[in-house]
Amino acid sequence: MLALSKRSQMAVGVVLVLLMAISRGSHFSAVNLPSASWAVFFLAGVLLRPRWAFPLLFLQALVMDLMSTGWASDSHCMTRAYWMLVPAYGALWFGGRLYAHWHREHVSSLLILVPTVAISALVCQLFSSGGFYWLSGRHSAQTMTGMFERIATYYPQYLSTLALYVGLAALVYVALRLLTGQQVAAGDHKV
Least Cα distance to 47 among 9, 88, 17, 10 occurs for: 9
Using the predicted structure, report yes or no on whether residue 135 has a pLDDT greater than 80: no
Q: How many CA atoms lie within 13 A of 47 on its CB side?
A: 21
Q: What is the reported pLDDT for 156?
A: 95
Q: What is the reported pLDDT for 91?
A: 98
Residue 17, CA distances (Å) to 20, 21, 56, 83, 159 in order: 5, 6, 9, 20, 20
Domain ranges for the chain, please list them: 6-190
Q: What is the reported pLDDT for 16?
A: 97
Position 136 confidence tier, pLDDT thresholds 50, 70, 90 = confident
Q: Which residues have CB under 8 Å from 23's CB, separation 6+?
A: 29, 31, 33, 34, 35, 36, 37
β-sheet bridge partners, residue 106: 185
SS (H, E, C) 39-54: HHHHHHHHHCCCCCHH
Mean pLDDT along residues 166-173: 94
Q: How far apart are the first and last CA of the chain?
A: 18
The larger pLDDT score, comparing residue 100 to residue 178, is at: 100
| Residue 162 and residue 39 in contact, taking contact as beta carbons nearer than 8 Å | yes
Distance of CA 188 to the CA centre of its chain: 33
**Residue 11 and residue 116: Cα distance in Å, rounded?**
24
Long-range contacts formed by 98-102: CB under 8 A, 24+ apart: 98/45, 99/2, 99/45, 99/46, 100/1, 100/2, 100/45, 100/46, 100/47, 101/1
Position 94 confidence tier, pLDDT thresholds 50, 70, 90 = very high
Left if phi > 0, otherwise alpha if psi is -120 to 50, otherwise beta: which for 35? Answer: beta
Count Cβ neighbours within 10 Å for each residue of 96-107 and write b for 16 or more, e otherwise.
Answer: bbbbbeebeeee
Using the predicted structure, report yes or no on whether residue 189 has a pLDDT greater than 70: no
46-85 tens-digit pLDDT: 999 999 999 999 999 999 888 877 655 455 667 788 899 9
4-29 tens-digit pLDDT: 888 989 999 999 999 999 998 655 55
| Residue 107 and residue 186 in contact, taking contact as beta carbons nearer than 8 Å | yes
